[in-house]
Amino acid sequence: MPRPNFTAVEEFIFEGFSIFGWQPRLILFVVFLVLYLLTLASNAIILTVICLNHQLHTPMYFFLSVLSISETCYTVAIIPRMLSSLLSPQHAISIPDCATQLFFYLTFGVNNCFLLTAMGYDRYVAICNPLRYSVIMGKKTCIQLAGGSWSIGLSTAIIQVSSVFSLPFCGANVISHFFCDIRPLMKLACADITIKELVTLLISLCVLVLPMVLIFISYVLIVSTILKMASAEGRKKAFATCASHLTVVIVHYGCTSFIYLKPKSQNSLKDRLISVTYTVITPLLNPVVYSLRNKEVKDALLRALGRKSFS
């Protein structure tokens, strides 16, 4: 129950980067705005290239296109509000708007985790079982894996948002973050959150550790198969097809695991700076890494621009 003599909170204020002065905040605003626009543009280019080029209508690029859509929605849910709070630090957000932002953040964030897992499975089948690849990774299987990722993201969001916003909020209303996230919100609750924290930890283990374990197993089997290849050129090509995915996985899971699986921290500014990595930088990293390290995408992009492909 809310503490007596405390008024129920009707809106929140993001602490964000208000600790910095106006000039540093303006610099951050420009940097984050440029990264945001680059993210939207690069994901749009990736989607366009994949749609227009029939050679890229394969399971690997199907998952990449779904990931691009999800990453775009993920950034749209967070960055515009963050940019607004950089210019106007005391700008408030209502409880329904905060719940909506958390819902979409969790839906697309968890969906991204399991899409990366599906992409790892796709690479495993392509390298370890190439003769049956087209049979195993058929259209139906790809749709089921993508649909399963979205379903898990949606279910997680419903459970977590319902859990957090069933808590009473009274007194303090300043969120020690630049968007509505689970832990900063629960810190503001005027009730015992022990059970809620346990539920959050268990869900975090399921949506972070489980995909990481599955991806790790996939790559153990992939590396084992690659090392058995007789051709050096074959080994090089096989490693190249996995490099982009592995790069994104390491950055994505490294940062999110640090935030959600570590013990409680009092250094909220440090957590906010780390959160910038997976909310601002990683969504841009995905299309950049997959386009720069992938010859097929580069060739398709150059053909669309009317230039010769890479040799």
- Residue 294 scores a pLDDT above 70: no
Of the pLDDT bands very low, low, confident and very high (cuts 50, 70, 90), residue 292 is low
CA distance 15 to 173: 10
pLDDT, tens digit, 9 for 90 and up, residues 196-247: 888 888 998 888 889 989 999 998 998 888 888 777 777 777 777 777 778 7
Query: Is 211:119 a contact under the CB 8 Å cutoff?
Result: no
How far is it, in rounded angstroms, from Cα 285 to Cα 115? 15
Three-state SS letters, 279-298: HHHHHHHHHHHHHHCCHHHH
Can you tell me whether residue 14 is helix, strand or coil? strand
Confidence of residue 2 (pLDDT cuts 50, 70, 90): very low
Convert the pLDDT of each residue in 80-92 to its tens digit: 999 998 888 777 8
Report the share of the chain in percent with pLDDT over 70.
Answer: 88
Q: What is the pLDDT of residue 244?
A: 75
Residue 13 dihedral angles phi and psi, to the nearest 5°: -125, 130
Q: What does the pLDDT read at residue 266?
A: 56
Amino acid 1: pLDDT: 45
Cα separation, 17 vs 272, in Å, equals: 8
- Cβ-based neighbour number of residue 222 at 10 Å: 22
Give the chain's domains with CATH numbers. Answer: 11-298 (1.20.1070.10)
Which tokens hold the place of 202? Answer: 């268990």
Average pLDDT over residues 137-159: 95
* Residue 305: predicted pLDDT: 66
Q: pLDDT value at position 309?
A: 47
Question: Residue 109 pLDDT > 70, yes or no?
Answer: yes
Sheet containing 174-175, strands listed edge to edge, beginning at the edge strand earlier in sequence: 92-94, 11-14, 174-175
Q: Which long-range contacts (CB under 8 A, 24 or more apart) does 127-130 make?
A: 127/222, 127/225, 127/226, 127/238, 127/241, 127/242, 128/221, 128/222, 128/225
pLDDT of 265 > 70? The answer is no
pTM of the model: 0.86
Q: How remote is the C-alpha of 291 from its chain's centroid?
A: 18
Token reading at 34: 């440029």
pLDDT of residue 286: 78
Cα of first residue to Cα of last residue in the chain, in angstroms, is 68
User: How far apart, in whole angstroms, are the C-alpha atoms of residue 79 and residue 280?
Assistant: 7
pLDDT of 173 higher than 60: yes
Residue-wise pLDDT tens digits, 52-74: 888 888 898 899 899 999 999 99
